[in-house]
């Protein structure tokens, strides 16, 4: 396992979280995540020769969790720059503070994203051999 690669790729979630704090990803966040996913798949395929799915899964899970942590820690900033999210928080009462809700669900979202990233890493590994 290349833990340094997994940790490095996981921090792209922090970059996305920071960009979303200031509303820079509004309307294009899905496209940015797709681009990041494809880049991660190529990087994993080029740098590992085994366990590509696991590398991608752990990286994607890390990205989702780190992204959620950044957004939860700076929720007032996030809500001030993302009015759609602020409306959703105001309309939905989950029985939790919004920060707690984000902390609870970011691992779930991270795992789901990790499965997608892992699958693409495994597929990319079939077509591209490491240097």
pLDDT digits (tens, 9 = 90+) for 57-106: 999 999 999 999 999 999 999 999 998 888 887 777 566 788 888 888 89
From 98, 103, 43, 24, select the one nearest 67 (Cα to Cα). 103
d(CA 130, CA 114): 21
pLDDT score for 50: 87
pLDDT score for 103: 85
CB 38 within 8 A of CB 120: yes
Q: Count CB-CB contacts under 10 A for residue 64.
A: 26
pLDDT score for 100: 84
Q: Is the pLDDT of residue 45 over 80?
A: yes
Q: Is 3 helix (H, G, I), strand (E, B) or coil?
A: helix
DSSP 77: H
In this prediction the pTM is 0.87
SS3 content of the chain, % helix, strand, coil (to 5): 80, 0, 20
Q: Where are the domains of the chain?
A: 3-126
Tokens for 25?
């990803």
Which whole-number Å values give the CA distances from 87 to 69, 91, 93, in the listed order?
A: 20, 6, 11
């Amino acid at each position: 396992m290349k833990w340094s690669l997994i940790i490095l790729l996981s921090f792209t979630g922090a970059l996305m979280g920071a960009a979303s704090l200031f509303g820079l990803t509004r309307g294009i966040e899905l496209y940015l995540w797709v681009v990041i996913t494809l880049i991660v798949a190529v990087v994993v395929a080029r740098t590992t020769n085994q366990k590509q799915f696991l590398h991608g899964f752990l990286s994607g899970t890390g990205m989702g969790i780190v992204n959620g942590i950044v957004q939860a820690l700076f929720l007032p900033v996030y809500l001030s720059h993302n009015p759609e999210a602020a409306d959703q928080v105001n309309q939905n009462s989950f029985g939790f503070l919004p920060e707690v809700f984000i902390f609870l669900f970011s691992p779930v979202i991270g795992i789901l994203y990790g499965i997608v990233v892992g699958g693409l890493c495994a597929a990319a590994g079939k077509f591209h051999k490491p240097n």
